[in-house]
Structure 1
């Protein structure tokens, strides 16, 4: 949260006050690397899918298929709060991880477009649960001042996965087609699960032991981590924050996933060779990784909201520059890198704003709702790009539409003030004190 806020943010009495555990952040980031790989390999496979006569799909159909994973993520995000309350953050994250890993690998066996769409939907359910659980797990294990940095480090795993997907796609698709690409996603997921699963299990056991030692405080401390009614975030001072976070997420995800899904094909429409389009996709994700870390550092100094708004403005300008087709091939690379830095950072920092606007017990539910409903932007983006291209308006108009959504995200953050966030935290803490035993 912004350091310039005149009102300090109240928080749960059990926010971490000791040293931040960065190994948990690394483990959550590794999950997101796999998520990013599974999420973004589809965009790299689009040109190959369109030329596979056995599938019989066109640009409109591939846009609709691309949207299915985001429909699944929407539904997964909406149930994430209840899932984490029932299973815990770590178990929810790992079950979701297993779900999207297996279903993504199975896409390599699909014989029709609708089978790919169904499997992408099922993978989206797992992805939708994992993201809020992973972000909440990471935020839980760092100090308040490290919140934006922790969220951004974890989220940077998604573009790292996208970058890895671009490299693997460039190596696999020209020689073997699109099917082995999805098998590679399954192998990556199994390796990551084997590496981080035992560590996160130990962390969960340690947290349970620590919570057991605090059970004696329950009678006097209503914020001791007992299950609460997550629906409290839909009332009072929390509702406007939730609505603004959801709408800003929708706008930012429409921009980011619109670019991520369609960049390869748009560059082909601009008559860029496949290898050049892959290079630009790689550059986009390098920029996203660097931007996630840079803007998080800036947010610690200047405040989360101003940096998020600046990132949205920069993303919009980059998209308009690319759409103008004034850029030479040499100038295109730094602009694409800057687009990656800014577009993903705007969403990362919205996640950080939402996380800090809700006490720890409500955080997974709040992030699940903002990311879940906000996924409508990601659902719309692939199909929207396909319809614009199919209608004959050309690739530049696709980029202009995504630039407009970036500006909309900036305007929405004007209402996401530090005072409004502080009121949300205070309201939910008051609700917890008035219902000390919560609802199970």
Structure 2
């Protein structure tokens, strides 16, 4: 009887049609995730009049989606490790799609804020689970680049909002833009049919028939033996306490710090960049140009960062990215040369957004499969707090009229803190470390009884 270790069978697979289809479905979801997170900023000037909002109310409504996202990451991260990641991904897609559509029908700030909160729950819950499923099924050599590529959909969604808003908003109004945010409902049948359930969940529930079909799709040119038996590296329980067991406590805290600091800067920098550039002597159009530069740098840089991480390692890449972001943002107030500022803004986008995307893959692999969604859920949940505090704290600093260098330094220092936090994460305690140290052993046994030639 042939025995196959599922973890290593998947890790040593090659990129296939199975992976491509999963990538496309996830990229669509994350693109609309980015679309939904950016749509409020694009429609805010119109919403202030349409819903009779004052600036303080507008700020609270902006926070409602972020608070929902933080709670969604925590709640659905835990839930996915218990009922399965496929179910939670589909449920969260329905949540943020319907939330967006109903927000478009709203006529008061209260109903609009409530449905933005509902959309936020789905947005927050879907991200950690997409990371978990992607890293679980991606070939070992392509994990970081796959996660990074999928999450560039966030930048694509933001760019999409900008382009569509300039065309639709003057002609058809703000509501249609929120209706468009519900488009992922159209791919729910595809998710039900083609999205694989977590291999961890299948193994836990002895659904070996479904697991065999998935493994067959990974290597469509070969056939699994009829009498195959599966081994699966499932250890530990899924709970908040489990994230601190087996000497993971310090590393878990460090991971939370990394995600908090990353989202603090990502959201704070994106929100205030145009205004800070205006304060630095540039015009409004130049400020918007720098915002576009930031997103393009993030888009291109994420692919480059993922490619590098797959070759030189996650920790080294992350530390380098955060140091690049720290230095580039620190230098922004020291020059008004258009080309220099453009380059520094692009480097900042590469540093923080590339760091977030590579960090997603790294942290997902840090925890054993049995608690992967829980670990990612709490990392994203804590990170979302940074997304809430970042724009607010920087806003206070800007309102105090302090020197421009202080404003940029407030956005740069979290990069240095994130780099230090990554440094103290202990790989030797992680599932990632166990996976990496066994690569040579696994490859040398690729034709043995544990890995039959198929």
TM-score range, shorter chain: 0.7 to 0.9
User: In structure 2, what is the Cα distance between the partners aligned to 1:289 and 1:422?
Assistant: 29
Residue pair 1:108, 1:183 contacting (<8 A) in 2 also: yes
2:42 matches 1:32: no
Instruction: State the Cα deviation string for residues 388-409 of structure 1 (Å, max 9, x = none).
Output: 3444448765433221212211
Shift of 1:199: 4.8
The TM-score, its normalising length taken from structure 1, stands at 0.81
5+ residue gaps, structure 2, are 216-226, 436-454
User: In structure 1, what is the Cα distance between the partners aligned to 2:338 and 2:198?
Assistant: 53
1:56 corresponds to? 53
1:287 to 276, 281, 297: 297
Residue pair 2:65, 2:119 contacting (<8 A) in 1 also: yes
Shift of 1:267: 4.8
1:151 corresponds to? 147
Match of 1:56, SS state, is coil
User: In structure 2, what is the Cα distance between the partners aligned to 1:129 and 1:282?
Assistant: 27
2:302 matches 1:306: no
1:211 corresponds to? 211
Residue pair 1:41, 1:181 contacting (<8 A) in 2 also: yes
2:130 matches 1:122: no
2:14 to 16, 19, 29: 19
Instruction: State the Cα deviation string for residues 28-66 of structure 1 (Å, max 9, x = none).
Output: 12211110111122233345555x3753322x5434432
User: 1:423–1:237: structure 2 CA closer, same or farther, 3 Å change rule?
Assistant: farther
User: In structure 2, what is the Cα distance between the partners aligned to 1:63 and 1:71?
Assistant: 12
User: 1:193–1:164: structure 2 CA closer, same or farther, 3 Å change rule?
Assistant: farther
User: In structure 2, what is the Cα distance between the partners aligned to 1:404 and 1:374?
Assistant: 16
Residue pair 1:238, 1:425 contacting (<8 A) in 2 also: no
2:39 corresponds to? 41
Return structure 1 stretches of 4+ with deviation > 6 angstroms. Answer: none
User: 1:148–1:205: structure 2 CA closer, same or farther, 3 Å change rule?
Assistant: closer
Q: Which moved more, 1:125-134 or 1:231-240?
A: 231-240
- Paired positions, count: 409
Instruction: State the Cα deviation string for residues 106-137 of structure 1 (Å, max 9, x = none).
Output: 33344444444333222111011100111111
User: 1:113–1:333: structure 2 CA closer, same or farther, 3 Å change rule?
Assistant: farther
Instruction: State the Cα deviation string for residues 250-295 of structure 1 (Å, max 9, x = none).
Output: 1111111212333345456667665544443332222111111101
1:107 to 103, 106, 115: 103
Shift of 1:16: 3.6
Q: Which moved more, 1:417-426 or 1:314-323?
A: 417-426
2:393 to 373, 378, 384: 384
2:108 matches 1:98: no
Residue pair 1:267, 1:277 contacting (<8 A) in 2 also: yes
2:160 corresponds to? 164
2:220 corresponds to? none
Match of 1:285, SS state, is helix
Shift of 1:102: 1.7
1:346 corresponds to? 355
User: In structure 2, what is the Cα distance between the partners aligned to 1:338 and 1:77?
Assistant: 29
User: In structure 2, what is the Cα distance between the partners aligned to 1:227 and 1:34?
Assistant: 34
Instruction: State the Cα deviation string for residues 72-125 of structure 1 (Å, max 9, x = none).
Output: 121111122332134321221121011112212333344444444333222111
Shift of 1:374: 2.1
Shift of 1:146: 2.1
Shift of 1:246: 1.0
Instruction: State the Cα deviation string for residues 359-407 of structure 1 (Å, max 9, x = none).
Output: 2222111111111122211121232233334444487654332212122
Match of 2:152, SS state, is helix
User: In structure 2, what is the Cα distance between the partners aligned to 1:258 and 1:353?
Assistant: 23
User: In structure 1, what is the Cα distance between the partners aligned to 2:397 and 2:106?
Assistant: 27
Query: 1:74-85, aligned counterparts within 5 Å?
Result: 74-85=70-81
Shift of 1:210: 3.7
Q: Quick one: higher RCO (CA 8 Å, sep 6+), 1 or 2?
A: 1
